[in-house]
Structure 1
Amino acid sequence: MLVLNNIHTDELPGRTLSVEGVEYLFCSGTSYLGIARNEQFKQHLFEGFHRYGTNYSSSRNSNLHLRVFDEAEAYLAAYSGAEAALTMSSGFLAGQTLVRVLQASGHFIYAPGTHPAMWLNETSTTVTLDYDKWVKQLIVEAPTLPAEHIIIVCNSLDPLRARNYHFSWIDALPENKQITLIIDDSHGFGVTGANGAGIFSQLSDKLTDNVRLIVATSFGKAFGIPAGIILGDKELISQLRLSSNFGGASPAIPAYLYAFLHSEMVFKEAREKLLANITFFRQQLSCPALFNCIENFPVFYTQHESLCPYLLENQVLISSFRYPTPTDDAITRVILNSLHTKEDLQRLTELLNKFQA
């Protein structure tokens, strides 16, 4: 029998994955739009490689400036509803650059489940409350803090246990303090919001003058671009451009930004297919209580760890691993993507409907 933690393969998964000669339906990973296996996107990427080569081994602050960076960042700002945008070579680097630039300017408060990319240090991981309890604590404690500037770091949603986050608590924050709200939208960007533009525009119109919104996100999940993005006001983006992290790091690969700019319809069609897959899956599922889920989001979390070996025996590979440490309970999820066919989903739901928890 396959040991889940020891799967080795030379094949990139898409809708399926071949392991030791056996084909598995692949319902895992974070390539929600299936871009890594999208042939149209691949053609645009080849065009980008032909134009810009395979990598740009230089600093964005050098005396040579490639227009594709400015073009991509202008597009991302307009697309998301932000004043300005900045791309970096990874979501992790984008997050670390952001918190390092802001670290001396205020008091950081971390919500549960924040990614290591946003941590100032290891003590940032000590939040053990669930989201709702954390919100109640935040509303009570924020007005009592001596710091005039409070920096709140939070995910846009919980991609592990498939829980949506509300942000009505922003209205209860103290008006006599400067608030910076950093949202990690790595799992929502490309899928949630208007045309997949994520959370920025959903929150920006609701904020008071003392609240500054910044969104940091991986570009590598739904969109399949190996890069990171920071969305915010022009003053912030200018400040980040002056940082040593930005100037000292290689930038995002230009060919991928070129492909992104030429793939608007590719992403649109993939997003429509993903939403159709989610709707069909939920319609065919006769045991919805088996999962936690978010409307129009492709992650379905279950507390039943036994679902994973059951599906594996039937050649379906889902996500199941212990997180955040090897001693924690397993996070078990069925994850859909745009590449799945109706036949795939029918097969999957037939198995799920027969599952005995």
Structure 2
Amino acid sequence: MPFALNQIDAELVTLDRELLRRSIRSVDTPCGTEIQIGGKSLLAFCSNDYLGLANHPELIAALSEGAKRFGTGSGASHLISGHHAIHDELEAKLALTQAGAIPHARALFFSTGYLANISAITALSLIGEKTSIYSAALNHASLIDGIRLAKAQTSIEVHVFNHHHLAELEEVLSHDTAPNKLIVTDGVFSMDGDLAPVQELLRLANQYDALLMIDDAHGFGVLGKHGYGILEDQTICSDRIIYIGTLGKAAGLNGAFVCAHEKIIAWLIQKARPYIYSTASSPALAFAVLRSIALIEGNLGQELRARLQANITLWKKGSTFNRWNRLKSDTAIQPIVVGSNETALQLARALDQLGYWIPAIRPPTVPKGMARLRMTLSAAHTTEQIQGLCKVLSDLETSLPKS
């Protein structure tokens, strides 16, 4: 047997022993709050489908119509022959969603948020001869990997900061002589559910001549009067901002976009290798995303955001724990930190047996000793479903043995 296979076996045994091995569960039904896995019915409190649009009839019809009008595939990368007129229309609309926050805004459409983040960071690190990147400690893996790739392709300095204690960030910025500085942060932190202090980060960016990149994967569609995300919600406006919006969560489809000053987007088209060398997303998808944005910014979107907020309030009032720590969050992400990997897995299994699906989140996704249930709420959850979960979790906290 090759050395690699023997080594993999040994590493997998270690992961099993440390309760860190991941597994895949296949869902039999469309995305929703009520799903089936292997014929078993479960209430899902783990999806990022925050507005309940992933199985919306209008988006199903739009995707079908898009395929009839534009075909199923793009055929090539954007810079060869894969960029269709419907991509132009979508990017123009995406830019409009951020036009109140970013002067001279232009947008680029990507197949995933991971690619969008990697593309933006690696391209922006190539501006000038020296770059410093400042990364929030709890940033998503795609941001971390983008910084790692940037560091591999050019000489950059990387600084990690705590978004709760910006005095340390300011201290380092005040002594930084690099001409190109980039501050990178999640908008809504995906494992804790809290918001980045974007107004204060922008103040620092202005004072120390830095760009500010915000990955708003869990904010677009949910935050702001029209669902345009954290910039609208916080009334932010600056040409220093690079905004990343995700379309596979609240928007109910797939893809992502980078929105920034038109000169920055022009630079990405020249230097962002994942954009240059990836096959463009299906034009049918772009057509459906346009319909999703119309729903998000219209009356339905406002109704769904209000319903989601009501569900968040209901959950926070009904969930109280003595042994476990429900992190402070006003967003749809409501984590319950239980500590050990064993407890998190034990709790997830118990919930599964009772008809609830909330997977255990363990290191390296979260810090060691901070294993949790990453519970998420949707506008599609009912009052009865949320109240039932509160009761079940309260009973489990009392009945499950301490690890």
Normalised to the residue count of structure 2, the TM-score between the two structures is 0.77
Counterparts of 1:326 and 1:335, CA distance in 2: 16
Q: Which residue does the alignment assign to 1:313?
A: 353
Residue in structure 2 matched with residue 142 of structure 1 by the alignment: 173
Are 2:333 and 2:376, in contact at CA under 8 Å, matched by a contact in 1? yes
User: Shift of the alpha carbon at 1:325?
Assistant: 5.5
Q: CA RMSD in A?
A: 3.0
User: Is the counterpart of residue 253 in structure 1 residue 282 in structure 2?
Assistant: yes
Deviation at 1:254, TM superposition (A): 1.3
Give the superposition deviation at 1:64.
7.2
The aligned amino acid for 1:245 is: P
Gaps of 5+ in 1: none
Deviation at 1:129, TM superposition (A): 5.9
Aligned counterparts of 1:222 and 1:204: Cα–Cα separation in 2: 20
Contact 1:143 / 1:174 at 8 angstroms: preserved in 2? no
1:164 aligned residue (192, 195, 199): 195
- Which of 298, 314, 339 in structure 1 is aligned with 2:332? 298
3-state SS of paired residue (1:232): strand
SS at match of 2:178: coil
The answer to whether the aligner puts 1:348 opposite 2:392 as a matched pair is: no
Q: 2-side partners of 1:101 and 1:7: how far apart?
A: 33
The verdict on how the C-alpha distance between 1:127 and 1:148 changes in structure 2, with shifts beyond 3 A counting, is closer
| Alignment CA distance shift 1:85-1:327 (3 Å) | closer
Return the alpha-carbon distance in structure 2 between the equivalents of residues 144 and 176 of structure 1: 12
The equivalent residue for 2:60 is: 42
CA separation of 1:107 and 1:186: change in aligned 2, threshold 3 A:
same
Q: What is the CA–CA distance in structure 2 between the aligned matches of 1:167 and 1:75, rounded to whole Å?
A: 24
Q: Partner residue of 2:138?
A: 113
- Output the CA distance in 2 between the equivalents of 1:35 and 1:227: 15
CA–CA distance in structure 1, aligned partners of residues 367 and 120 of structure 2: 31
Deviation for aligned residue 1:230:
0.2
> Cα–Cα, structure 1 residues 127 and 340, in superposed 2: closer, same or farther, change >3 Å?
farther
The residue that corresponds to 1:102 in the other structure is 124
The farther-off stretch of 281-290 and 311-320 is: 281-290
Equivalence for 1:194: 225
**8 Å Cα contact 1:114-1:154 kept in structure 2:** yes
Structure 1 residue identity aligned to 2:392:
L
1:281 and 2:308 correspond: no
Secondary structure at 2:78's aligned position in 1? coil
> Are residues 193 and 345 of structure 1, via their aligned partners in 2, closer, same or farther at CA, if it must alter by over 3 Å?
same
Deviations 1:284-327 (CA, angstroms, capped at 9, x unpaired): 446599522432x2111112236434423321111312132698
The answer on 1:87 being equivalent to 2:109 is: yes
- Distance in 2, matches of 1:327 and 1:112, equals 11
Residue 72 (structure 1) shift: 0.8
**Retained in 1: the 8 A contact 2:321–2:397?**
no
Secondary structure of residue in 1 paired with 2:358: strand
What amino acid maps onto 1:328 in structure 2?
K
| Secondary structure at 1:30 match in 2 | coil
Distance 1:193 1:230, change over 3 A: same
Name the CA shift for 1:290/1:116 in 2 (closer, same or farther; >3 Å).
closer
Greater CA drift, 320-329 or 194-203 = 320-329
CA contact under 8 A between 2:220 and 2:229: conserved in structure 1?
yes
CA distance in structure 1 between the aligned counterparts of 2:359 and 2:175, rounded to whole angstroms: 42
The 3-state SS of whatever aligns with 1:247 is: helix
Matches of 2:167 and 2:187, distance apart in 1: 17
User: 2:148 and 2:88 mapped to 1: Cα distance?
Assistant: 32
Q: 1:69: Cα distance to partner?
A: 1.0
The answer to whether the Cα contact below 8 Å between 1:7 and 1:19 also exists between their aligned partners in 2 is: no
**Paired residues, what number?**
349
Deviations along 1:164-215, one digit per CA (max 9) or x if unpaired, are 22234336537664210111111111111222211234567455xxx71111
Name which structure has the greater RCO, CA cutoff 8 Å, separation 6+.
1
Q: Is the 8 A contact 1:323 1:331 kept in 2?
A: no
